[in-house]
Amino acid sequence: MAISVGLNSVTRALLAQQQAMDAVAHNVSNVNTPGYSRQVVRLAAVGPGDTGVGNGVQIEGIERIRDMFVDFQMRAEAHAAGEYGARASSLQMAELALGEPGDTGLMAAMDGFFNAWRDLANSPGESASRSAVVQAGETLAFSARRLARTFTDIRTDADTRIASAVNEVNAIGREVAALNQRIIIVRATGDPAADLTDQRDLALDRLSQLSDIRVMQHDDGHVDVFVGGRALVQGNRVNEMVPVRNPANSDYIDLTWASDGAPVKIASGEIGGLLQQRDVDLPARFADLDTLITQIMTDVNTVHATGFALDGVTTGLSFFTGTGIADIAVDGALAADLRLLAAGGAAAAPGDGSGATAIARLQEAANLTAGNETYGAFYSGVTTRLGVAVRDAKRLAESQALTISHLEQLRQSVAGVNLDEEMVNMVQFQRGYQAASQVIQKINEMLDELFRMV
Amino acid sequence: MITAGTDLTGGADGLVAVMEAQGDVYRALLGLAASEQGAIVEGDVSRLTEIVRLKEELYDHLRALETERMTALVAIEAATGIAPDRATVSEIASQLPSEHATTLLRSGRELRAQAVALEEAQTANARLLEQSRALVDRWLQYLRTLLAGSVYTPDGVTPSLPGGRALDRSA
């Protein structure tokens, strides 16, 4: 090997090694950067020149250590996690609103109401008992209306969160499009644009929590992002989602594509979970509660209308006014004149309490679910189903969080920078280099001895 | 094996045989030096360690050959009076019959060429190693500072560093 060839090869090798160490420096300085992927210098042997002797190594490129399969899995699990998280959160709020079992829940209000009628049946003439019935009726009505308001609030909250999430989706879409453009330009210069790609991956990770997305990678480095079969990002262009108020759905927002106004189809992710809660799960549970309250109103009003007031003349009065859970109230006339309560069963016996007894007995009547369930049983079913749904949603959310955590660890083991690992590697390098130096020195001493003779 | 009683040409033949064997070992070492350079540059410590192990073995073989070379030189000293520690190939050759001298000088040239090539490769590798060690030392120092910073904080907690697994320093 000629000395010049040897020196060239050494110089090239040293430069290569310096760049490799620079990559380590970059890794270490980004140890706390979210989404950062470890970078390594890819070295390649330089082919032999005229002398036939190898020319050492040179930098072939810088690689970003990333497992695309883990990324794919991570995003697939992330939108499920987002969906379950959103569902668990909304359902839990609904469960808290019911407040069961407890003294302030609807069950206690129903019990109080029918017990008051029972008491009135025992003493139909006493104004205290009549007052207690009106009070219990107002408590029941108030509890029902409060539930209705709370359910509406939860749906409105979900709607607000959807609007906010859509803003974030659009912002991320714009970010991804801008990064696409920069990545294409940088890669055209031969630079792998590793840091920009990390930044874009981080944005895509967040996007996958918000919505179910499909990412298509192209050879020039850019990605297209699809939501529900439509492109959110194509190269450097963004087709944003536009929230449009829908008067037919309580003025909540519908999502449409800016390009043509077509509806956005989001099945999963945080937005998917919130849409499902706002438009399906919560309305279904609200409808159950409305059915219960409406049934109570109808039944009580029907029986009350057949009874007689204390004057033995007045009859045909309703106890409750309103159309359902949202506006149920005790008839103001009854509250103003307690004697109008129809506790009597007949005009001739306005004080016999049989009217009150008939209303009290409604509590045991199976008037719901096609004559199979009492009010209490029906309501228990509602609360139990909600409780199960909350537990399921929480369990799924926790399970997804665990899966995400596992995938994150997998990703870290591939792409993450670990200072301890770098330290261990460095110590190994140090020892290896030391041992190699010692052997070189010993052999050189022997060569010196030989050179004295030859 | 050459003994002190061997005559001059016999001693020279023995010396040539040893030098040829040494040449083979130097060739092998030269091949390893090329691989060693690759291992250093690529930071492949396990490969480097294996190469160092092979070089150690060849070094032991060289030491045994060196003993044989000295034995040959002692035999030559008995016939020529040339002290082994000052003997050179050309000096010994000057006292040999032409045919033997030619062989010895050719072996000497070949061995020198091998030794020079090996020394060059070794010098290159030594420089690489020196540079690498300096870089590694600098990084070790930096990493130690980072890791030490993570072990103790002003409020006495020992937060784990982000970025994956961490060594347990609780012991």
pLDDT in tens, A384-398: 999 998 888 888 888
Interface test with A, best of B35, B57, B120, B135 (most A CBs within 10 A): B135
- Backbone φ/ψ region at A377: left (φ over 0), alpha (ψ -120 to 50), beta: alpha
- Measured distance CA(A245)–CA(A240) in Å, rounded: 16
What's chain A's Rg over C-alpha atoms? 37
A34: burial class by Cβ within 10 Å (0-12, 13-18, 19+)?
A: exposed
Q: Do A426 and B143 touch (CB under 8 A)?
A: yes
Query: Strand, coil or helix: what is A52?
Result: coil
* Residue B109, both tokens: 């040239």
Domain ranges of chain A: 1-65, 73-403
Tell me the shortest Cα–Cα distance from A52 to chain B, in angstroms.
Answer: 13
Tell me the shortest Cα–Cα distance from B73 to chain A, in angstroms.
Answer: 10
Q: Do A433 and B129 touch (CB under 8 A)?
A: yes
Which domains, ranges and CATH numbers included, belong to chain B? 8-151 (1.20.58.300)
pTM as predicted: 0.62
Closest CA to B87 of B98, B76, B101, B79: B76
Provide the CA B125 distance to its chain's centre, in angstroms: 11
Q: Do A443 and B122 touch (CB under 8 A)?
A: yes
- Measured distance CA(A15)–CA(A413) in Å, rounded: 28
Question: A405: which chain B residues are within 8 Å (Cβ-Cβ)?
Answer: none
- Measured distance CA(A362)–CA(A292) in Å, rounded: 13
Question: A42: which chain B residues are within 8 Å (Cβ-Cβ)?
Answer: none
Residues 6 or more apart whose CB falls under 8 angstroms from that of A319 comprise A137, A300, A301, A304, A330, A331, A334, A341, A342, A359
Q: Do B136 and A430 touch (CB under 8 A)?
A: yes
A436: burial class by Cβ within 10 Å (0-12, 13-18, 19+)?
A: buried
Q: What are phi and psi of A346, to 5 degrees?
A: -150, 160
Helix or strand holding residue A40 (H, E): strand A39-45
Give the side-chain half-sphere CA count within 13 A for A320.
30
ipTM of the complex: 0.79
- Measured distance CA(A404)–CA(A88) in Å, rounded: 17
Instruction: Write out chain A's pLDDT in tens, 454 residues.
Output: 443 444 455 555 556 666 666 666 677 667 667 777 777 666 665 655 554 444 555 666 666 766 677 777 778 888 888 888 888 888 889 998 888 888 889 999 999 999 999 999 999 889 999 999 999 999 999 999 999 999 999 999 999 999 999 999 999 999 999 999 999 999 888 888 888 998 999 999 999 999 999 999 998 999 999 999 999 999 999 999 999 999 999 999 999 999 999 999 998 999 999 999 999 999 999 999 999 999 999 999 999 999 999 888 889 999 999 999 999 999 999 999 999 999 998 888 877 899 999 999 999 999 898 888 999 999 999 999 999 988 888 888 888 887 877 777 777 666 666 667 667 767 777 788 888 888 899 888 888 888 888 8
| DSSP code per residue over A242-265 | EEEEEGGGTTEEEEEETTT-PBP-
- Measured distance CA(A9)–CA(B38) in Å, rounded: 11
